[in-house]
Amino acid sequence: MNNVIMSAKGISKSYQRGSEQVHALREVDISIQAGEFVSIVGPSGSGKSTLLHLLGLLETPSSGKIQIDGREMSGLKEPDLVKIRRGSIGFIFQQFLLLPTLSVRENIELPLLFSKKKARPGRIAEIMDLLGLSERSHHLPHQLSGGEMQRVSIGRSLINEPKIIMADEPTGNLDSATSEKIYELFKMLNNNGLSLVIVTHNMELAGMADRVVRLKDGKIALN
Amino acid sequence: MNIFSLATKNLLRRRVRTGLTVTGVAIAIAVLFSLLSFNAGYERQLSGELGSLGIHMLAVPKGCPYEAASLIIHGGVIPRYLSYADLEQVAKIDGIEVASPMLLHQFYKDDKPHIVYGINIEEQKTLKPWWKIEGRYFKDDEPGAMIVGRSLAEKENLKVGQVLQFGPDKVPTTIVGILERTGNQDDEFHFLPLSAAQRIFGKEGQLTTVAIKVKDVSRISEISKKLEEIPDIQVVTMTQVMGTIMNLVGSAQALLFSVIIIALFISAVGIINTLIMSVNERTREFGMMKAVGASGGDVSRLIIVETLIITLIGCGAGLIAALLGSKLVESFVRGVIPYSPAGELISIDPSLVFICIGFALAIGLLCSIYPAVKCARLTPMEAMRSDLE
């Protein structure tokens, strides 16, 4: 296990909902190898999205430790976390979260605005081509189908050349044919050496991954 | 793409709301700018007008309050008079350069008040060296000759050589000259030789006031004390007159300004409300930006840039509106303020433009700081969730 890109040890997350203490995640250990394609599955409320958000540094665990590229994350402040998210992790959301006034190309370029980097020459065209969006470059999100919107969101996650892509129910809003195409895309990215962690409800699609992690009641039921 | 174009696109997404907010800022700035300009122009005109009288003090009959004295300057008539004996005593005082007797008479023609000044022309020319004339001045011993102010000539369509009739006996009087525009109240008056005016209006030997110019301005108060020793005379210096007018004006101004402050406050609250709303409903978007690599500072910057675009465009529109509408404001204000000088009231001062831009920037920053800081502090997931709650 010397090629671990991301690992978590004993991470828990609990929060207050009214008077009730909700334990979304309890003492979970997990590690992701470089180049690995991992699906996280489980029923609603099992904590799979929470696990993804914690691993992706979108929120901080109540307890436990997370390492990314061998570097300890606990205790790091937001400005440091931003740099790690920016450089190493790409996110894909169920609701796509594209900016409605930006064109396809601009939405894909958005992270560059924050990382203050220039994409290497041809990178954007390469991504658009890979995602089959070359013809759609100047279209606005409302002119796209759901599958196309999700591909734009994948493009956005790739632009900063991350080591790992994290997707939260990426096909939750898509029909099955489109979902399958998106998964083929994931598989292709994985074949190019990218690590992926994908939360999904869809067992069939989850099966396309190298490894399936099943969560139940905030704990790992099957690895 | 840069943060500026991203902000612009965000604003264009909600055109109506952005438009209304910009309008709100524009109105606030237009009102602020108009009123500040008015205030500056008003005070300058007023003191300029008083200074351009060329008169340092007026000797007026005793019992004449300052308010009446200020009326004299603008052609009001008071029912008390000085005598030539008083004039002699005034002229004897050391340090006085010119002591020029004047008689004022007011009459109505077509229900409009007209002011006639009886003057000694050579002395007046010393007091008002800027006077220029079309035609010629009358001589002090030239009955039946007169000169008129430019505005009066325009209003009544008077020409050099025309003959007017004055007084109960309808004495024919020829206009021998028309004054070039002075920008002060002289533009509105009829001027006759003093002796002729006294005769026509039956005021022989009577004077309304003696206009005094001193040799050395620093001796005004000393000379005014000496003047007050003359039993019939009361002295009004121009600074006192100005003070009186300023007091009259001050209360009206205070009212005006309190209305404006309330209007500005209301519009500022409206702007803050709109901005906070537009930030709140996009919290999830800001969460997404953070997830894809935006720092808290990036998000704050975006919010602040958006707000500043709104306030600065509003400020520009407001300034343009104020410049275009200054005539309108001027006529409105003339109706409200008890005394308004002749000439342009609104003065466009570059420093006021900067004050208004500064005010707009301050509103913009003030309005954006709260949502910007709030958004910057949220973790990406908190931001994305807060939208759903």
- The model's pLDDT over B320-344, given as tens digits with 9 standing for 90+, comes to 998 888 777 777 766 666 566 656 6
Q: What residue in B sits closest to A96 (Cα-Cα)?
A: B288
pLDDT above 70 covers a percentage of chain A that reads 99
Which of B116, B120, B155 minimizes the C-alpha distance to B138? B120
Interchain pair B380, A59: CB under 8 A: yes
pLDDT-derived band at B246 (thresholds 50, 70, 90) equals low
| Residue type at position A135 | E
Q: What is the ipTM of this complex?
A: 0.90
Q: State the Cα–Cα distance between residues B388 and A94, nearest whole angstrom.
A: 14
pLDDT-derived band at B389 (thresholds 50, 70, 90) equals very low
pLDDT at A157 over 90: yes
Is A180 within 8 Å of A33 (Cβ atoms)?
Answer: no
pLDDT at B68 over 60: no
Is B376 within 8 Å of B296 (Cβ atoms)?
Answer: yes
pLDDT at B388 over 50: no
Q: State the Cα–Cα distance between residues A44 and A217, nearest whole angstrom.
A: 9
pLDDT in tens, B230-240: 888 888 777 77
Q: Indicate the average pLDDT of chain B.
A: 81
Q: State the Cα–Cα distance between residues B265 and A23, nearest whole angstrom.
A: 47
Q: State the Cα–Cα distance between residues B359 and B348, nearest whole angstrom.
A: 17
**pTM, 2 dp:** 0.68
Q: Which of A101, A154, A169 to mutate to test the interface with B (most CBs of B within 10 A)?
A: A101
Is B104 within 8 Å of B82 (Cβ atoms)?
Answer: no
Q: State the Cα–Cα distance between residues B173 and B197, nearest whole angstrom.
A: 11
Interchain pair B10, A101: CB under 8 A: yes
Chain A residues with CB under 8 Å of B295 CB are 78-79, 82, 114
In sign, the C-alpha dihedral spanning A96, A102, A108, A111 is negative
Interchain pair B381, A53: CB under 8 A: yes
Chain B residues with CB under 8 Å of A111 CB are 292-293
Among the partner-chain residues B291, B295, B296, the one whose CB lies closest to the CB of A91 is: B291
Chain B residues with CB under 8 Å of A85 CB are 290-293, 380
Tell me which of B217 and A12 has the higher pLDDT: A12
pLDDT score of B42: 73
pLDDT-derived band at A163 (thresholds 50, 70, 90) equals very high
**Residue A106 at interface with chain B, using a CB cutoff of 8 Å:** yes
pLDDT score of B337: 62
Q: State the Cα–Cα distance between residues A16 and B133, nearest whole angstrom.
A: 90
Give the DSSP letter string of B57-100.
EEEEETT--HHHHHHHHTT---S--B-HHHHHHHHHSTTEEEEE
CA distances from B267 to B38, B44, B155, B177, B256 (A): 21, 30, 43, 54, 17
Q: Measured between alpha carbons, how far apart are the two ends of chain A, in Å? A: 16
Among the partner-chain residues A59, A90, A100, the one whose CB lies closest to the CB of B13 is: A100
Tell me which of A215 and B267 has the higher pLDDT: A215
Is A3 within 8 Å of A14 (Cβ atoms)?
Answer: no
3-state secondary structure B121-184: HHHHHHHCCCCCEEECCCCCCCCCEEEECHHHHHHHCCCCCCEEEECCCCEEEEEEEEECCCCC
Q: State the Cα–Cα distance between residues A158 and A186, nearest whole angstrom.
A: 11
B70-74 long-range contacts (CB < 8 A, ≥24 apart) are B70/B236, B70/B241, B70/B244, B70/B245, B70/B339, B72/B104, B72/B208, B72/B209, B73/B185, B73/B241, B74/B185, B74/B339
Which of A60, A1, A48 minimizes the C-alpha distance to A166? A48
Q: What residue in A sits closest to B287 (Cα-Cα)?
A: A58
Q: Which of B292, B388, B389 to mutate to test the interface with A (most CBs of A within 10 A)?
A: B292
**Residue A59 at interface with chain B, using a CB cutoff of 8 Å:** yes
CB pairs under 8 A between A and B: 75
A122-131, B216-225, B289-298, B318-327: which has the minimum mean pLDDT?
Answer: B216-225
Q: State the Cα–Cα distance between residues B224 and B237, nearest whole angstrom.
A: 8
pLDDT-derived band at B283 (thresholds 50, 70, 90) equals confident
**Residue A97 at interface with chain B, using a CB cutoff of 8 Å:** yes
Mean pLDDT of B139-165: 89
Q: State the Cα–Cα distance between residues B159 and A16, nearest whole angstrom.
A: 92
Which of A149, A134, A157 minimizes the C-alpha distance to A98? A149
pLDDT in tens, A178-192: 899 899 999 999 999
Tell me which of B349 and B357 has the higher pLDDT: B357
- Residues for chain B: how many in total? 389
Q: State the Cα–Cα distance between residues B321 and B26, nearest whole angstrom.
A: 8
The DSSP symbol for A189 reads H
Q: Measured between alpha carbons, how far apart are the two ends of chain B, in Å? A: 32
Which of A114, A112, A91, A105 minimizes the C-alpha distance to A152? A105
A37-51, B8-22, B120-134, B241-255: which has the minimum mean pLDDT?
Answer: B241-255
pLDDT score of B108: 79
**Residue A86 at interface with chain B, using a CB cutoff of 8 Å:** yes
Mean pLDDT of A210-214: 92
Which of B112, B139, B145, B108 minimizes the C-alpha distance to B124? B139
**Residue A115 at interface with chain B, using a CB cutoff of 8 Å:** yes
pLDDT above 90 covers a percentage of chain B that reads 9
Interchain pair B285, A97: CB under 8 A: yes
Is B270 within 8 Å of B343 (Cβ atoms)?
Answer: no
pLDDT in tens, B4-63: 888 888 888 888 988 988 888 898 888 888 877 877 777 777 666 655 556 778 888 876
Interchain pair A157, B6: CB under 8 A: no
Chain B residues with CB-CB distance to A under 8 A?
Answer: 1-3, 6, 9-10, 12-13, 284-285, 288-296, 298, 379-382, 384
pLDDT score of B280: 82
Which of B184, B178, B209, B375 minimizes the C-alpha distance to B294? B375
Is B208 within 8 Å of B81 (Cβ atoms)?
Answer: yes
Interchain pair B291, A100: CB under 8 A: no
pLDDT score of A30: 93
Tell me which of B275 and A160 has the higher pLDDT: A160
pLDDT in tens, B163-195: 988 877 888 899 999 999 887 778 888 999 999
Q: Which of A207-216, B67-76, B180-189 has the highest mean pLDDT?
A: A207-216
Is A103 within 8 Å of A138 (Cβ atoms)?
Answer: yes
Burial B148-185 (b: 16+ CB within 10 A, else e): bbbbbbeebebebeeebebbeeebebebbbbbebbbbb
